Structure 1
């Protein structure tokens, strides 16, 4: 019996070692792909080790309320050695992260359960502290429990405070309302920690994937690791057709996932059970069930978009409170939510408007009708309406297929170069439009904002360099790099790397990388300074230019654009709506930039904290309604 018991004890360690060896092999292959194919590969050294360690620890415990100080120190032994582990293919260090992280999560779960069994007074002397700097790790486990109690109490009071803007009426019923809020908050906490303890890919794999992805991000923010499901979901997001449930969802002000629209003829429509406004509570796919309230949006997105999950069982709640389940089999459908559309603005001097939500392409379609062809069809329709000008809206367009944007840029210039692409060997390749003529030769306005990236910036840059259109909006993201998805193995690939392989420059020799496209006319926009642009990403590839580049191309006259821009700036400076936006932004920036004071966890203080932004949000809503009117 003793021998059998000893073997039983050894088996988990043996399995763990095998898993680590396999993970190490994947890690090594990821590095090989990045070193051989990345546009600007970096050495695997101590700098990489420190970055990977710090970023992984930040991802696992960003508020430092999970690990104890001695646990952090156990893991910190590896902080300068990850580069050595990769070179030597020795990944035993994974065991430390797996065991310590699991222990910390289980401890946290235990404390949440304990807090749930204890009385939680809603007027205490507890204080929550805020800091822009990192808090130290707790030295004693009791401190973690104390923090969780304070945070759970705050979240319960926050949930109560959000139920009304009448403070006095809420205050009378704090204890009564607190019972329902307490159950809701505790259930959410437990749900989230259980999701972390039981991820769909397996606990060990979730740690491995963290390291792979963070390792890739050291080379630049857009290189990353994909498992098969993540890769399928990403491809689906830029494809004109994909496997779909035939419904669109949105998140309401209570952070619930609600059915926004049902696509006629799709799986959800044919089920004849789902109605607009139904709340999705759970999703089940591939023998695993996910509670929506605590599953990550990445997990939900993968289930909805990836062809890995062909059959999905949805559990929904109708407005009358009744709960039901329905099994849906995905089918290939056109991705209408990111397809091009257009309409005409004005009567006397009609202007065409074309929205391009993304530069999608037809990966799996026989007709090869992607974004560029759809734009061309919309232009033909608009020209029949005798439009005098054209607005091309690239706001919130995060990019997509470079082939599509190259074709689309060529449609609006006569002919000539549209970009210069360089690879890791700094070989320059001039991309040209050889097709003479334009689908539309009238004036063009291109709308961009702080979410316009990559292919959107490519198109806007071409229009700006040729003086073909006036660029209006906000400085764009600043992503002028191209990625490709490569398998780690050619046969039966299950692991992939999205790797940055090229950088593109404008035909002037300058690049929009890191700095973005600066519009000819800037429009004040809410929260613009807080958007995550490339310049705020620590590992972003820096801006540079091609010295001595002298491409021949024929610009249109610049004077009409300069004149239009000057007139627009005058109108914007005196517009009450834009002045309100600038005023609100100043107030938001003041709140964001100043340190937040410690907060006593009482109903009065939490209510005031929750509603401190009410007037700002009211002003934002007012301005938005005027914009849409």
Structure 2
């Protein structure tokens, strides 16, 4: 027995050494691929070391209540050494991070269990400080219990406040509500922490993946490391399940699972309870077997949500205003129609064709039908049968997709010529162009954009703007002008990096990288300033221009400058758009203001939680307000939709969405002005 302990210690040391060796091997392969293929590789130096160290430690302890000042001081010895250690094949630093992080998590659990077994004193005078800058790592271990007690009081008060908008009722039932809220907060914190410690992949393996991903993001925000893990399987199962809840899920910047979209005609849409960006707090099946998403494995959650064996799922969701809703949905058999191009005939004095392009999807293997460009072409042909006076192409919230589809779609509306110029890390240019003479539509075109219109959306929009083929209205686009490819790190294909290999430029040689495509007619969009555009990323590629030798012929019948100016003046006096601008000012004022210290009392925190209830009610009301537009199906599609109950319900949902779109309303005004001028 005496000889057994040294053997265990030696085994643990060897395992740790093996983990460090594997990490360094992966890093060396990443460095090799980056140096060979990345559009703008950077040297492995102190700048990388500082970025990776600061980002890594910040992600490990965002709120500065886990790692003590002494522990951070110990780790900070690596802040300027990571580059040197990686070059020499020494990745033992990861074991040090794992050791410190594990101790901090175990210390947190012990503290929470201790605090839970004694009543919290809600009469302690304390305050909560706010800062837009990160707080320093100055936690003192002897003070950690006091700090956690304060945080728990805050979280419990916030949870209680989110349960009701009636403060008097909350105070009258304080004991009962506090018990419910307290149990929920303690369970959530303990569950979240235990899930990190006891993840099936192991703490060190997860930290390795996190570190490698941050390492890749140093080169640009769209280069990433990932494995074929639970996260990818969780997101992919949505498209393969026969029975569906009618919800598209995604992850927000806090890695919380959120509603990305509500599929028209599905159970979620029928409930009228789900909205985009709602946070999914917990899920449960019909037997009550459930998970809190903040601490459950994504494999388990994915099985519950997407398995056809679970026909009923109950949700707890958190709305934008902080309120919690309980909703139960029953799955139904649904067709995969959420990403398809669709169109309408919209009337307001004139008749316009409207085409919504959710993303630039592609039929990569030729087995699933048409890609986005072919579907747009078919929709245009259907709309032309109704003698439309102009075409509106809606790229709002279109995050991109296939560049090839964007080039093909551009070719539908220009005669022929260059569409975009690609440039790699050797400065080699590749011209992507439309070689087919002719186009499928000769009339005026308006494109709708917002801050979420990105990548392939921007390529298409920029090309039609440069050719003077379309007028762009809405908000500036995201500003992403780079292309990525997926590269396996080894023959087993268990590790990949998504790597930025090229930048794409407009046909005039300019780039929208970091600045976006600027609309010809700017219009306020709700929450526009809070949209995460390319310029908000610390490691985003810089904006530049290149010399392009190939010329291009602009469209013959261009939008008259006076029509654009007329639209700008009309936007300024539009009551609906003025209200959106006013709401944005209030949103920005609330978001940007430096909050004063908040007393840790029920009254103060209740007021803070409900501070913007009226504002969010106004925002929701404005978003749901319908215009007076007449939205119809094309003559060709009307019969098919009327005979299919499922398509009919989806169609009604989409029609309502179009009627609520004030940007379509202004597009109709512009097309009316255009027809008036060109029919003189």
TM-score range, shorter chain: 0.7 to 0.9
1:150 is paired with a residue of what secondary structure? helix
Q: Does 1:554 align with 2:553?
A: yes
How far apart, CA to CA, are the structure 2 residues paired with 1:470 and 1:605?
49
CA distance in 2 between counterparts of 1:544 and 1:44 reads 24
Change (3 A) 1:16 1:256: closer
2:245 is matched with: 247
1:208–1:496: structure 2 CA closer, same or farther, 3 Å change rule?
A: same
Moved more, 534-543 or 495-504: 534-543
Distance 2:329 2:407 in 1: 47
Partner of 1:98: 98
Q: 1:250 to 1:603 in 2, by over 3 A?
A: farther
Q: 1:314 to 1:538 in 2, by over 3 A?
A: farther
Q: Per-residue CA shift, 1:540-568, capped at 9, x if unaligned?
A: 11111113x34221112575252332122
Look up the match of 1:316: 313
What is the distance in 1 between the residues matched to 2:480 and 2:15? Answer: 42
What is aligned with 2:409? 408
Residue by residue, what CA displacement relative to the aligned partner does 1:304-344 show, whole Å, maximum 9, x if unpaired? 899xx999878833899999999x9xx9x974222212222
Measured after TM superposition, the shift of residue 6 of structure 1 is 1.6
CA displacement 1:495-551 (0-9 Å, x = unmatched): 00100001111001101111110001111122222221111211111111113x342
C-alpha RMSD of matched pairs (Å): 3.6
CA distance in 2 between partners of 1:430 and 1:504 (Å): 10
In 1: Cα distance, 2:507 partner to 2:111 partner: 60
Which residue is equivalent to 2:565? 566
Q: 1:198, 1:511 → 2: CA distance? A: 47
Rounded to whole Å, the distance in 1 between the matches of 2:375 and 2:599 is 57
Give the superposition deviation at 1:30.
1.2
TM-score by length of 1: 0.87
Q: Distance in 1 between matches of 2:600 and 2:281?
A: 32
**Quick check: 536-545 or 191-200, which moved more?**
191-200
> For 1:34-93, what per-residue CA distance to the aligned partner results, in whole angstroms no more than 9, with x for missing partners?
111100110001111111100111111112111001111111111111111221111111
What is the aligned partner in structure 2 of residue 617 from structure 1?
616
Residues of 1 paired with 2:283 and 2:347: CA distance? 46
Task: Classify 1:261/1:145 alpha carbon distance in 2 versus 1 (closer, same or farther; 3 Å).
Answer: same
2:89 aligned residue? 89
The 8 Å contact of residues 478 and 512 in structure 1, kept in 2 or not, is answered as yes
CA distance in 1, matches of 2:215, 2:433: 35
Residue 9 (structure 1) shift = 2.6
1:597 Cα deviation from its structure 2 partner: 0.6
Stretch of structure 1 that moved more, 73-82 or 311-320: 311-320
Contact 2:419 2:434 in 1 (8 A): yes
Counterpart in 1 of 2:291?
A: 291
Structure 1 residues 397, 257: closer, same or farther in 2, change over 3 A?
A: closer
TM-score, length-normalised on structure 2?
0.81
Residues 214-262 of structure 1 show CA distances to partners (whole Å, capped at 9, x for unaligned) of 011110010000212379569959x9x65666333379xxx99899979
Aligned counterpart, 2:58: 58
Change (3 A) 1:358 1:312: farther
More off after superposition, 127-136 vs 390-399: 127-136
Whether the aligned pair in 2 keeps the contact of 1:48 and 1:218 (CA below 8 Å) is: yes
Q: Does 1:349 align with 2:347?
A: no
Deviations 1:548-591 (A, max 9, x none): x3422111257525233212211211112221222222222223
Q: CA separation in 2, counterparts of 1:581 and 1:325?
A: 36
Alignment of 1:447-458 (within 5 A): 447-458=448-459
What is the aligned partner in structure 2 of residue 192 from structure 1? 192
Deviation of residue 372 (structure 1)?
Answer: 1.4
- Tell me, in whole angstroms, the C-alpha distance in 2 between the residues paired with 1:259 and 1:570: 35
- Find the residue that maps to 2:125 and give its secondary structure: strand
Alpha-carbon offset, residue 378 of structure 1: 1.6
Does residue 126 (structure 1) correspond to residue 123 (structure 2)? The answer is no
Q: Which residue in the other structure is 2:466 paired with?
A: 465
In structure 1, distance between residues paired with 2:410 and 2:261: 34
Structure 1 unaligned spans of 5+: none
Residue segments in structure 2 that go unaligned for 5+ positions in a row:
250-255, 275-279, 317-324, 627-658, 661-680
Correspondence 1:70 to 2:70: yes
Structure 1: distance between partners of 2:497 and 2:561: 44
State the SS of the aligned residue for 2:525: coil
Matched residue SS, 2:464: helix
- Aligned partners of 1:441, 1:412: CA distance in 2, in Å? 7
* Alignment check: 8 A CA contact 1:124 1:600 kept: no
Closer, same or farther: CA 58–260 of 1 in aligned 2, 3 Å: closer
Does 2:222 align with 1:222?
A: yes
Give 1:395 shift.
Answer: 0.9
Q: Which moved more, 1:38-47 or 1:586-595?
A: 586-595
- Tell me the secondary structure at the aligned position of residue 219 of structure 1: coil
1:594 positional shift: 2.4
CA–CA distance in structure 1, aligned partners of residues 501 and 570 of structure 2: 43
Alignment of 1:68-467 (within 5 A): 68-229=68-229, 246-249=244-247, 281-282=282-283, 291-295=291-295, 299=298, 303=302, 316-317=313-314, 335-346=336-347, 349-366=350-367, 369-467=370-468
Contact 1:281 1:315 in 2 (8 A): no
2-side partners of 1:516 and 1:260: how far apart? 24
Q: Which moved more, 1:139-148 or 1:83-92?
A: 139-148
SS of the counterpart of 1:2? Answer: coil
Cα distance in 2 between the residues matched to 1:300 and 1:563: 57
CA 1:205 to 1:243, structure 2 compared with 1: closer, same or farther past 3 Å?
farther
Paired positions, count: 606
Distance of 1:514 and 1:560 partners within structure 2: 27
| Alignment-derived partner of residue 601 in structure 1 | 600
